[in-house]
Structure 1
Amino acid sequence: MSAGSDPVVIVSAARTGIGSFNGALSTVPVHDLGSTVIKEALKRAAVAPEEVSEVIFGHVLAAGCGQNPVRQASVGAGIPYSVPAWSCQMICGSGLKAVCLAAQSIRIGDSSIVVAGGMENMSKAPHLAHLRTGVRIGETPLTDSILCDGLTDAFHNYHMGITAENVAKKWQVNREDQDKLAVLSQNRTENAQKAGHFDKEIVPVFVPSRKGGFRPGRRQPMNQEVTVQFLVRSHARVAGSVPSVGHAGGSQ
């Protein structure tokens, strides 16, 4: 097995809109979100599903999604059953790691065309209860799989919001500086969205319903015309904290 000398290139890209928590996309299974994007990415690249040699997706919240959700997405996009499809789990870096793994697979000659990316639907992540051995008496707790598997450090048992606090302290980032950066980011996103800069990359998703279904608009939920004064009023986690809800990305 030898590494190839030809460069690995990305020939196409697509994504769904970013839905809000329990919003318009919340009822769509994660593998259907994945299938929708895979179909469009292949179409844009003029690649037939039969030409794909491997599918790699990052996926964190897999509880209750069925066996190998990435394979479900792959087959749902028309890629043959014979094509291997699998997921990698690196928390927030999962999707980007999948792209890196795809490049490595091509470089060493294992694959020639790889579909790589990430998929998630936090709104459908279940609450969990350990009932394997039964409950003899009293109540049993429910565990939120979003917090347990996605947002809580397994070694120190604290939420990623605490990590944001630690990073702010380490690099001496104060609340005022973070507010200014958050406003700049929000305003740039709003302006780009209004100008239609995201439209070409976003694939509409069909959402089934009792009335036949619909396709949500391409615009993504966000605060409009955010100002520093608006963020100053956003409550921090505790008094004296640097990160606040106004700095955070929404759950999807």
Structure 2
Amino acid sequence: MSTSTRRVAIIGGSRIPFCRSNTLYQDQSNLDMLTAAINGLSDRFGLAGVEIGEVGAGAVISHSKDWNLAREAVLSSRLSPLTTAYTVQMACGTSLQAAAQLGAKIACGEIDSAIAAGADTTSDAPIVFGQRFAHRLIKVANAKTLGQRLAAFKGFRLGELKPQSPGAGEPRTRMSMGQHCEMMAKEWHISREDQDRLAFESHHKAAAALKNGFFDDLIVPFAGVSGDNHLRPDTTLEKLATLKPAFDRQSGQGTLTAGNSTPLTDGASSVLLASEQWAEARGLPIQAYLGPVRTASVDFVAGEGLLMAPTVAVARLLQATGLSLQDFDFYEIHEAFAAQVLCTLRAWESDKYCRERLGLAGALGSIDPARVNVNGSSLAFGHPFAATGGRILANLAKLLNQRGSGRGLISICTAGGMGIAAIVEKP
């Protein structure tokens, strides 16, 4: 094992088109989608039959049968079946967290190559019965006689058959992410107009990038689908203004709508990481390098904004590296909601917040809007929870590679009041 720290090369990424849930992928599973994303990497970089150091991947909403989704995807892919894989889950930060973990192993010499990936579908969400009926089914499965099977249903009521579908709400507050973000928008005085404008810009920037071919080598067709089906290049501010509030319909003060919030989305993404030596040996050009990563959490139960943790993670990252918030050529800020992005930017500009919450000497300051999500982000593409980090990491690496040099910052909020931030560089 090497005792020196090695740079973590980002070779490139691959994803399938992202589609609104219950539309084009309603017959596809997490395993199907994740396998397709990994095969996209295999085809692009000649990995058929290759033993990769490790694959780390996961899904937020999964079936109990997918207890090691990553390994099953590897076995279903064109990679060597000798490739070790493990499943990771950090809500919307899953695939970026996987990249951080795998990158650390590459840096310290434990492995030479890795794939970080994620998939999610709410079209194939696991539907389960309540505990009472589930216990009856277990008793039936263990019964040895007809009498024991019949006895398992003693006292049965039809209400026990009511299924329990998975939800994206916070277990501790019983509020949805959108409801939490609505509270943040009110706290930070984020207007409906500003949210709609950010959503409008995301769609139009994404459409322009698609037209100029930026995504040609990043998106692989899957299940007869060749492109994201949520993208709305024809959307206008006037159309967005007609939408009704989605999470606060009662007070008349709601500002989050279906237009300035991400939809439930199905999809998968993957990113190939490696040591410089491994890439050179296989003749693979390096797009960029994965730098430091930091995570953070907030106490949203006590009143902090559920999606404000990235403000803390980024502050920690800047303190650790000695960089300022302005020292980046690109900023990739996950657009779970337009309001979340705007709250984050406003918090960094707030002297009070940065002093009292982040423990800094003053405000981190403003960043150039022209450098933020230059090719659009989640509001345009959609947000298959565990796949978003991989999409963003691959996009940023390609942006830096095209520029020839530079530095980019990734900021992703997640359920559970957590956030993850990372730096990507091209020397």
TM-score, structure 1 as length reference: 0.86
| Matching residue of 2:107 | 107
SS at match of 1:115: strand
| Cα distance, 1:181 vs structure 2 | 1.1
Q: Is the 8 A contact 2:30 2:59 kept in 1?
A: no
Distance change >3 Å, CA 235–CA 65, structure 1 → 2: farther
Match of 2:387 in 1: none
Structure 1 portions without partners, runs of 5+ = 208-214
Deviation of 1:133 (Å): 2.4
Mapping of residues 1-252 of structure 1, within 5 Å: 4-130=4-130, 131-134=133-136, 136-140=156-160, 141-145=162-166, 147=167, 151-205=168-222, 207=223, 215-237=224-246, 238=249, 239-252=252-265
Q: Unmatched 5+ residue regions in structure 2?
A: 137-154, 266-427
Task: In structure 2, give the amino acid aligned to 1:143.
Answer: Q
Distance 1:107 1:25 in 2: 37
C-alpha deviation, 1:94, in angstroms:
0.8
Read off the aligned partner of 1:198 and give its amino acid letter: F
Question: Contact conserved, 1:236 with 1:242, CA < 8 A, in 2?
Answer: yes
The answer to which of 157-166 and 106-115 deviates more is: 106-115
Q: Count how many residue pairs are aligned between Structure 1 and Structure 2.
A: 240
* Deviation, structure 1 residue 249: 1.7
Contact between 2:169 and 2:175, CA under 8 Å: does it hold in 1?
yes
Mapped to 2, the partners of 1:92 and 1:72 lie a distance apart of 21
- For the residue of structure 2 that corresponds to 1:123, the secondary structure is coil
Matched AA of 1:139: G
The alignment's C-alpha RMSD in Å is 2.1
SS at match of 1:12: strand
**Within 2, Cα distance between the matches of 1:34 and 1:40?**
10
Residue type of the alignment partner of 2:126: P
For residues 4 and 167 of structure 1, the distance between their equivalents in structure 2, rounded to whole angstroms, comes to 44
Residue type at the aligned position of 1:173? I
Q: Secondary structure at the match of 2:262?
A: coil
Give the letter for the 2:135 counterpart: T
Distance 1:71 1:8, change over 3 A: same
Cα deviation, residue 83, structure 1: 2.6
Per-residue CA deviations over 1:205-249 (Å, capped at 9, x if unaligned) read 1x3xxxxxxx22325333342111111110103121121111122
Q: Is the 8 A contact 1:199 1:218 kept in 2?
A: no
Rounded to whole Å, the distance in 2 between the matches of 1:107 and 1:178 is 40
Verify the 8 A CA contact 2:19 2:229 in the aligned structure 1: yes
One-letter amino acid of the counterpart of residue 17, structure 2: G
Larger Cα-atom Rg:
2
SS in 1 for 2:93: helix
| 1:167-202: CA deviation from partner (whole Å, max 9, x where unpaired) | 212322111111111111122222323333322210
| Pair 1:105–1:227, CA change in 2 (3 A) | same
| Greater per-residue strand proportion | 2
Q: Tell whether the 8 Å contact from 1:3 to 1:107 is kept in structure 2 after alignment.
A: no
Shift of 1:65: 4.7
Q: What is the rounded CA distance, in whole Å, between the counterparts of 2:67 and 2:93 in structure 1? A: 22
- Indicate if the aligned counterparts of 1:54 and 1:111 stay in contact, CA closer than 8 A: yes
Q: Is the 8 A contact 2:48 2:78 kept in 1?
A: no
The CA deviation at 1:21 is 1.4
- The alignment partner of 1:118 has SS state of strand
Identical residues among aligned pairs (%) = 24
TM-score (norm 2): 0.53
Matches of 1:111 and 1:126 in 2, distance apart? 34
1:4, distance to aligned residue in structure 2 (A): 3.5
User: What amino acid is aligned across from residue 232 of structure 1 in structure 2?
Assistant: A
